[in-house]
Structure 1
Amino acid sequence: MGAFRRRKLNAIVTEVLVMLVAIVFLIPFYLLLINSVKGVAEQLTNTAGWPSAFVWNNYSKAWNALNFPDVFLRSLLITVFSNIGLTIISALAAHRMVRMPTRFNTAVFYLFIASMAIPFQSLMLPLVQVIRELGMINSLGGIVFTYWGLGLSFSIFLFHGFVKTISYEIEEAAIIDGCGPLRVFWRIVVPLLQPMTVSLVLLNTLTFWNDFLLPNLLLTKSELHTIQTAMNAFFGEFLTRWDLALPALVLGTAPAILFFLLMQRRIIEGVAGGAVKG
């Protein structure tokens, strides 16, 4: 009975601690939401309190100031095509390196791993210069191409470890049945990579969608701004338009949260599948 009570007490304490941590993490979202529907004066004098009057037209003003449909579409295109290309290229490369462990492939893999230690800040100026020389500054294709290069090392690293857990006998059976290398990859390997693919797409989506620095460096024209760079106009050196900035932050964050909620089942299946596979 004593052991049962201790387990029950430990469970209660754990739940209370989890709830407290959740509340701490939710406080910024609470402040963001309630202040996004306040007037400027109340935002400054009653930051944590409930709004005395809901100013819903803050959202319509922010929507128009951002030109939200256009910046949303550009952010979406960049995120989708960056994910598609990066996932396909890294999965193909990792599969090749695992199934053909030549000295060259091994050296290339370790080169990718070593490149992960290089901080992005040290690459910014040379990267911008290279992209400019290629004529890809101020183009959506240029930033997608850059995301492929920057994300390749980490993606290959994750896929490389996961491909090792896939039994090669499954692929051999498909080859004996007459499948070519690409057909084996698409029909056999890709479905087995789903747990890692889901996790990687989630990580990359949050990275691409929330990124400010790279779009700010490569997309300097206002007509090419993403959601994150467009919101920067509300944060001036001497004045911040909180009545526009906070609703804009909600509008910019909502698609990422919605994506996570829609993918929640897939994420859980992916994590569970990865645990079983490991």
Structure 2
Amino acid sequence: MRILKKIKASKVFLYAFLGIVTVVQIYPIIWMFFFSLKDNEEIFGGNVAGLPKNWLFGNYVEAWIKGNIGQYFINTLVVTALTILGTVLFAAMAAYAISRMKWKFQKTALTVFLLGMMIPIHAALLPLFLTYVKVGILNTYACLVLPYIAFNIPISVYIYVGFMEGIPKEMEESAFLDGCNIFKSFFRIILPMLKPVISTITILTFINAWNEFMFASVFITKSSMKTLTVGIQEMVGQFTTSWGPIGAALVLASFPTLIIYIFMSDKVQKGFMAGAVKG
């Protein structure tokens, strides 16, 4: 009986602790939602953290139309989708060559990719800007997608390699005996087996590309091509600022990240565990 009481007491303590952690994590999201439904008078009148007196859902309409958040949202979505597609595919190809093929600089290539994880993304800001000016691709999706893919590939290759090393090579050998070439082996055998890892890489890449600010603010100057992070910043006026619509824009910008993580968080955990065990 004493042991059962101890077990129950420990569970109660654990659930209470997890409940507190959950509230702490969720509170900023709830606070931001309430903030987005207020006007400046209420915000600066002292009611910053409480419930809105007047629920101004029109702030979302103002942010979407007048703040041009709709266009910024589409631009961010296109850039993020292209970044995810390029990172998932190119990193998988590189990892396949490193983990499944035998060639002279196999280990060196992996080391080079791992060194790429140590380079701050913004260290390439000035060289990339000068290159883009000469090439003439500023204010295009490419000027953001290319560096996003390049800086997301190292961690993606590292995760892929750890997972691929646990896949039996006999599967590919039997496919080769049946007349399958390298490309068919990769796309038909290896790639379908990487679904847990692809989910992990997709979320990591999504967060990095969706929330990136520095490259987007330097490489994009046309209003029609700006992303959410830059567009929301420009909603802050020089003399006056409507903070309610800015809060609404922040909620709209955060919503896709929350939805994707809610539906794919279990796959992320499985991907990391599979890569750790098999690697």
Taking structure 2 as the reference length, what is the TM-score of the superposition?
A: 0.92
Aligned to 1:38: 38
Contact 1:74–1:224, Cα closer than 8 Å, also in 2: yes
* Structure 1 residue 132 displacement after superposition: 2.5
Between the aligned partners of 1:237 and 1:246, the Cα distance in structure 2 is 18
Q: Does 1:47 align with 2:48?
A: yes
Secondary structure, in 3 states, of the residue corresponding to 1:249?
helix
Between the aligned partners of 2:123 and 2:133, the Cα distance in structure 1 is 17
Aligned to 1:259: 260
Between the aligned partners of 2:272 and 2:155, the Cα distance in structure 1 is 18
* Structure 1 residue 237 displacement after superposition: 5.8
* Structure 1 residue 271 displacement after superposition: 5.8
Alignment deviations for residues 16-55 of structure 1 (CA, whole Å, 9 cap, x no partner): 1111111111121121111111121111210111111111
Aligned residues: percent identity? 28
Moved more, 85-94 or 229-238: 229-238
* Structure 1 residue 164 displacement after superposition: 0.8
Aligned to 1:67: 68
Contact 2:117–2:151, Cα closer than 8 Å, also in 1: no
Aligned to 1:97: 98
Q: 1:127 to 1:245 in 2, by over 3 A?
A: same
Aligned to 2:5: 5
Between the aligned partners of 2:208 and 2:112, the Cα distance in structure 1 is 23
Alignment deviations for residues 115-173 of structure 1 (CA, whole Å, 9 cap, x no partner): 21122232221222223233221111221112121212111111111111111111111
Between the aligned partners of 1:182 and 1:245, the Cα distance in structure 2 is 48
Aligned to 2:180: 179
Alignment deviations for residues 230-265 of structure 1 (CA, whole Å, 9 cap, x no partner): 101123466543122101101111122223334356
Aligned to 1:120: 121
Contact 2:75–2:225, Cα closer than 8 Å, also in 1: yes
Q: 1:139 to 1:267 in 2, by over 3 A?
A: same
Between the aligned partners of 2:102 and 2:180, the Cα distance in structure 1 is 21
Alignment deviations for residues 77-127 of structure 1 (CA, whole Å, 9 cap, x no partner): 111111111111110111111122433222122111112112223222122
Q: 1:173 to 1:13 in 2, by over 3 A?
A: same
- Matched pairs, number: 278
The amino acid of 1:150's aligned partner reads F
Contact 2:34–2:52, Cα closer than 8 Å, also in 1: yes
Unaligned runs of 5+ in 2: none
CA RMSD of aligned residues (A): 2.0
* Structure 1 residue 268 displacement after superposition: 6.2
Secondary structure, in 3 states, of the residue corresponding to 1:197?
helix
Taking structure 1 as the reference length, what is the TM-score of the superposition?
A: 0.92
Between the aligned partners of 1:87 and 1:97, the Cα distance in structure 2 is 15
